[in-house]
């Protein structure tokens, strides 16, 4: 290896260590370099998020605005770009004018760690790991259940992605889950009453129902945004519950029985507020 190559390798390694601290070291507040996504990668992110005309797409660290513009131009959504660099914000506004989507886009000079994100139904980001780590719980806490997040290359450290897709680059899809942890008083079919206890870590849930005869594990428990599913084995039947979470209430339908003998009914649960 030439001396120039050795110097470049050493420089690149030093730069990486400065931007991405070693495990256990203090995080460094350094500017995130602007590295634009390709047009193909932009489209893959928006496809993975299933962006539709009713969505509000926030791009964190929006650079020249290409994600926001594509969301408005190609998917009919409304887009908001958050970017610290005032020059890039101005460039983005001019690009939106040229693309004919200025009325459906907005670009703000803002810090992604402090700017309000509550209006977003979709968030996209191509940011380095220290910033992704700091955004993880903020996005989980601030976005509404059902909102989708797509991370380009760098996933959240503790939140398992719902989907991981590799097409040229790697993309991670997260759906913000409803909060279901706690004890729910469930009214099932045939006058059945349960106290359903649920534990939650992001979208991963587990639980069990307490009945007079003992404990019924909640099998195949899944939470996708506001959609909750689980199975209770009561007697010889499997009761398959599906419902929508609305704050402290869950309502939906439950199915049981085999083949043409299958039955279904409405069910409801209320969270214990004590």
Domain span holding position 106: 31-175
For 72-109, what is each residue's pLDDT tens digit? 999 999 999 999 999 999 999 999 999 999 999 999 99
- Claim: this prediction has a pTM higher than 0.75: yes
Give the CATH number of the domain where residue 203 resides.
2.40.128.120
Domain end: 158, 175, 192, which one? 175
Indicate if 167 and 107 belong to the same structural domain: yes
Give the CATH number of the domain where residue 38 resides.
3.40.50.150
Q: Where residue 235 falls among pLDDT bands split at 50, 70, 90? A: confident
Query: How many structural domains are present in the chain?
Result: 2
For 179-206, what is each residue's pLDDT tens digit? 999 999 999 998 999 999 999 999 999 9
**What pLDDT is stored for residue 37 in this prediction?**
78
Q: What is the DSSP string of the chain?
A: --HHHHHHHHHHHHHHHHHSPPTTSPP---PPP--PPPHHHHHHHHHHTT--TT-EEEEET-TTSHHHHHHHHHH--EEEEEES-HHHHHHHHHHHHHHT-GGGEEEEE--TTTS--TT-SEEEE---HHHHHHHHHHHHHHSPTT-EEEEES---SSS--SEEEEESEEEEEEEPPP---EEEEEE-GGG-EEEEEEEEETTEEEEEEEETTEEEEEEEEEEETTEEEEEEEETTEEEEEEEEEETTEEEEEEEESSGGG-EEEEEEEEE---
Q: Where residue 28 falls among pLDDT bands split at 50, 70, 90? A: very low
Indicate if 212 and 195 belong to the same structural domain: yes
């Amino acid at each position: 290896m030439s001396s120039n190559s050795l110097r470049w390798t050493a420089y690149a390694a030093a730069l990486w260590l400065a931007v991405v601290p070693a495990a256990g070291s203090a995080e460094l507040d350094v500017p995130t370099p602007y590295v634009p996504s390709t047009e193909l990668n932009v489209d893959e992110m928006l496809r993975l998020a299933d962006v539709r005309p009713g969505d509000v797409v926030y791009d964190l660290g929006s650079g020249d605005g290409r994600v926001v513009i594509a969301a408005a131009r190609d998917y009919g959504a409304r887009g908001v770009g958050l970017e610290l660099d005032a020059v890039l914000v101005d460039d983005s506004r001019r690009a939106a004018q040229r693309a004919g989507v200025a009325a459906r886009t907005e670009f703000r000079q803002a810090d992604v760690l402090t700017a309000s994100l509550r209006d977003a139904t979709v968030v996209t980001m191509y940011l380095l790991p220290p910033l992704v780590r700091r955004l993880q719980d903020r996005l989980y806490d601030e976005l509404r259940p059902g909102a989708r997040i797509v991370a380009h290359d760098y996933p959240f450290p503790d939140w398992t992605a719902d989907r991981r897709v590799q097409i040229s680059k790697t993309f991670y899809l997260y759906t913000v889950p409803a909060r279901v942890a706690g004890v729910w008083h469930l009214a099932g079919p045939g006058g059945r009453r349960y106290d359903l206890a649920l534990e939650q870590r992001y979208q991963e849930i587990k639980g069990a129902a307490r009945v007079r005869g003992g404990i019924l594990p909640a099998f195949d428990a899944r939470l996708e945004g506001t959609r909750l599913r689980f199975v209770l084995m009561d007697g010889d039947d499997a009761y398959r519950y599906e419902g929508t979470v609305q704050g402290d209430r869950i309502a939906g339908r439950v199915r049981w029985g085999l083949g043409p003998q299958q039955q279904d009914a409405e069910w409801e649960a209320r969270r214990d507020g004590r």
